[in-house]
Structure 1
Amino acid sequence: MVNSIVLVFMDCVESKARVCFFGQPPELDAADMHQWMAQFMELVRKGCPRQCGDTAKADSCQRLGLEDGTIPDERIRSSREKLWTNAFQARLNGPSFWSDSYCPLCWIEVDLLQTTRVSGVITQGNEFSWTTYLVTEFKVSYKPTPLSGYEYIKENNGDIKLFDGGDIDSASTPHTNYFNQAIMASVIRIYPTRRIVRYALRFELIQCPMD
């Protein structure tokens, strides 16, 4: 019998180890392993919420209008449009989601009309009682001005940056990625590159106070 267990994870921003769970796990019921794991991961998530960046920073950031509808439907576009994959369905915390089966060649973008400072992106998948849809990895490109070409957000070494889309155990929980440096962009485009079951995405762009 396990008396106690300690789980330590690395913070995604500060690269520091954090104790996310210490104590006795839920009583194991071999007949329902899935439920046991769900209960246990909920305890872990309470100890270490899955979000890149600190809560104070997140609270100080402004959402740029996808979730609340300030950005109209016609300014949200994707590589392909179908009745069940319309780009405007990709609003964070919305009732539906955007999806495409032709990824990683697919993309979805937001036209900000004018050059705007963008500090990061919040992404979200969908959890159902029978399955989970989640974009687990994606790339981001942008147009600095309405007339310029697209540029990828890159690592310091020049490689295209791959962003983390979150965990299967919390697919519907908004997951924030802050850019290493805020960008000036008139259009932001997201390219899903990995998924769980299906490429499904809801998202929002954020602007944080300057450091």
Structure 2
Amino acid sequence: MKAFLLLLCVSTFWNLTFSVTVGVKVRRNDDQELQELKMEVMQLRLQQMKGKFCTVGLEDGRVKNHQIAAVSYWGNGFEPHQARLNAVKQASSYGAWASKYLHVGQWIRVDLQYPTYVTGVVTQGRPLESQQWVTSYKIAYGNTTSALQVLQRYGKDVTFQANRDAETKVANFFPTPVVAKHFWLLVQGWHNHISMRLEYLTCLN
């Protein structure tokens, strides 16, 4: 009788232990799967954020018209705020900024309103069959419009090679990222006329 009771107790203890162990194992699997799912969602959100905010916002309108200025422009439809990457010709716009004068140093400036981490710039020419684009430029930056410095490498101004046709987007990355409020693109060379579209980058790819 005692042997039977002892066997019954051992059997009951084993069953309880097995049940608790299985329960813990299942709970751990559930928690692990939940954590993995959360990580996947977080990574997806980060990828979406990166894709959305890899530019300062000229193309998508986060940079407003009044934040874009230029030393000159050709006339109505060629104002500085027309210089948004991938802009197209419309009823009131030729889809690009075009300078009034053709000489080295014509510039277009973007006011980002607060110091912003910028890694490079993308440019295009004037759309359609215009055959107008900027072939080279320098970049200047600063936190006020009266104090600017030209981007340099090894103590010399950097001249970036730009477009060779009207539609191809050409990206140039800075030697090192820059944090500043204002950015100037200083035209150094052009084809037929100084006309362009642009966007500043905040990522390295």
Structure with more strand by fraction: 1
Q: Which segment drifts farther, 74-83 or 146-155?
A: 146-155
Contact 1:136 1:166 in 2 (8 A): yes
How far apart, CA to CA, are the structure 2 residues paired with 1:77 and 1:194? 20
Give the AA of the match of 2:87.
G
Identity %: 26
How far apart, CA to CA, are the structure 2 residues paired with 1:60 and 1:83? 31
Structure 1 counterpart of 2:157, from 160, 163, 174: 160
Distance 1:60 1:87, change over 3 A: closer
How far apart, CA to CA, are the structure 2 residues paired with 1:80 and 1:88? 12
Structure 2 counterpart of 1:90, from 66, 83, 88: 83
Counterpart residue number, 2:7: none
Structure with more helix by fraction: 2
Distance 1:185 1:128, change over 3 A: same
* Structure having the higher Rg: 2
How far apart, CA to CA, are the structure 1 residues paired with 2:87 and 2:175? 27
Distance 1:60 1:177, change over 3 A: farther
In the alignment, structure 1 residue 180 sits paired with structure 2 residue 175: yes
Counterpart residue number, 2:65: 73
Distance 1:161 1:205, change over 3 A: same
Structure 1 counterpart SS, 2:157: coil
**Structure 1: where are the runs of 5+ without partners?**
1-57
**Structure 2: where are the runs of 5+ without partners?**
1-49, 89-94
Question: Number of paired residues?
Answer: 148
Contact 1:66 1:91 in 2 (8 A): yes
Distance 1:64 1:152, change over 3 A: same
Counterpart residue number, 2:195: 200
Distance 1:209 1:201, change over 3 A: closer
Counterpart residue number, 2:133: 134
Contact 1:138 1:163 in 2 (8 A): yes
Contact 1:139 1:190 in 2 (8 A): yes
Counterpart residue number, 1:103: 103
Structure 2-normalised TM-score? 0.66
The residue correspondences of 1:37-52 to structure 2 (distance < 5 A) are none
Q: RMSD value over aligned CA atoms? A: 2.3
Deviations 1:5-51 (A, max 9, x none): xxxxxxxxxxxxxxxxxxxxxxxxxxxxxxxxxxxxxxxxxxxxxxx
How far apart, CA to CA, are the structure 1 residues paired with 2:110 and 2:128? 27
Distance 1:147 1:75, change over 3 A: closer
Deviations 1:27-85 (A, max 9, x none): xxxxxxxxxxxxxxxxxxxxxxxxxxxxxxx9797011000011100000000243243
Contact 2:145 2:182 in 1 (8 A): no
